[in-house]
């Protein structure tokens, strides 16, 4: 018997109609994704999201009347399970950290390749986090500055190296790639394996590290390699 899968329901929030049109065209080309609504700012998004009940919201930041940071915080108070994926041209530290602190599950720049954007929608819909490589670098730098000793009280990275030693050779390859900001699709291509295999390895790394997202994984890897 065929297994029927429900498409991922997506709402687009961006004040640029051409951007929304391009995103709709891109995402609607994937059988597993359905664009169920659009909004031009955070205020309009409030009504559209309530009516459409999406799984994922692609949220711009700089918009008139109500920006994406305020809208993200408001919507996640109402629906903590909603996956907000910020998609913007701006990558200032205050915007990146502001979005993540408000509960956004991902932060991508608008120059993200189309296939990676589709993969990102699937990633956040599945409950995982994703960041553009340059954004990940900023988060790691911020975290390292705020918590210079990482998870090791002595600050020498020995605790993190012990965690890294728990990984198999292939899991280590995947963990390092994630820490360097590679997407699942990039890792699969570089290691000549399938996406499902990459996701399985990442799941094993999460379990061994005791973490649940890519940023935490990256912090451990970078601390171990100091």
Any residues with CB less than 8 A from the CB of 23 and at least 6 apart, and which?
12, 14, 35, 58, 87, 117
Has this prediction a pTM greater than 0.75? no
Mean pLDDT of 164-179: 89
Average of per-residue pLDDT values in the chain: 84
Percentage of the chain lying above the pLDDT 90 cut: 36
Residue whose entry in the numeric block shows the structure tokens 């051409």: 18
Interval 101-131: pLDDT, tens: 788 888 888 888 899 899 999 988 988 778 8
Helix then strand count (H, E) for the chain reads: 11, 6
Q: Is 29 left (phi over 0), alpha (psi -120 to 50) or beta?
A: alpha
Q: What pLDDT score does 152 carry?
A: 45
Q: Is the pLDDT of residue 35 over 80?
A: yes
Both tokens assigned to 217: 């994984």
Q: Is the pLDDT of residue 167 over 60?
A: yes
DSSP string spanning 70-137?
HHHHHHHHH-TT-EEEEEES---HHHHHHHHHTT-SEEEETTS-HHHHHHHHHHHHTT--EE-HHHHH
Beta bridge partners of 37: 11
Dihedral, CA atoms, 166, 150, 179, 172, nearest 10 degrees?
A: -10
Decide: helix, strand or coil at residue 37. Answer: strand
Residue whose entry in the numeric block shows the structure tokens 């956040």: 124
Q: What number of other Cβ atoms are within 10 A of residue 94's Cβ?
A: 9
Percentage of the chain lying above the pLDDT 70 cut: 87
All domains in the chain, ordered by first residue: 8-136 (3.40.50.2300), 149-224 (1.10.10.10)
Interval 47-73: pLDDT, tens: 999 999 999 999 999 898 888 899 998
Q: What number of other Cβ atoms are within 10 A of residue 75's Cβ?
A: 24
Handedness of CA 97, 102, 104, 105 (dihedral sign): positive
The phi and psi torsions of 161 (rounded to 5 degrees) equal -65, -35
Cβ–Cβ < 8 Å for 208, 163: yes
């Amino acid at each position: 018997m065929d297994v029927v899968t429900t498409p991922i329901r997506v709402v687009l929030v961006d004040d640029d109609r051409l951007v929304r049109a391009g995103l709709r065209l891109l995402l609607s080309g994937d059988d597993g994704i359905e664009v169920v609504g659009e909004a031009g700012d955070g205020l309009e998004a409030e009504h559209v999201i309530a009516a459409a009940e999406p799984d994922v919201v692609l949220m711009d930041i700089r918009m008139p009347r109500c920006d994406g940071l305020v809208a993200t915080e408001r919507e996640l108070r109402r629906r903590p399970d909603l996956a907000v994926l910020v998609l913007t041209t701006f990558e200032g530290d205050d915007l990146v950290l502001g979005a993540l602190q408000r509960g956004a599950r991902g932060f991508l720049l608008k120059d993200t390749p189309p296939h990676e954007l589709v993969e990102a929608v699937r990633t956040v819909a599945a409950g995982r986090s994703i960041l553009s490589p340059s954004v990940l670098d900023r988060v790691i730098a911020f975290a390292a500055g705020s918590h210079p000793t990482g998870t090791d009280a002595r600050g020498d990275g020995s605790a993190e190296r012990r965690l890294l030693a728990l990984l198999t050779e292939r899991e280590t390859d995947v963990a390092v790639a994630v820490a360097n900001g590679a997407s699942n699709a990039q890792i699969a291509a570089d290691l000549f394996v399938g996406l499902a295999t990459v996701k399985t390895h990442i799941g094993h790394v999460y379990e061994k590290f005791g973490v649940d997202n890519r940023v935490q994984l990256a912090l451990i890897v970078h601390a171990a390699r100091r």
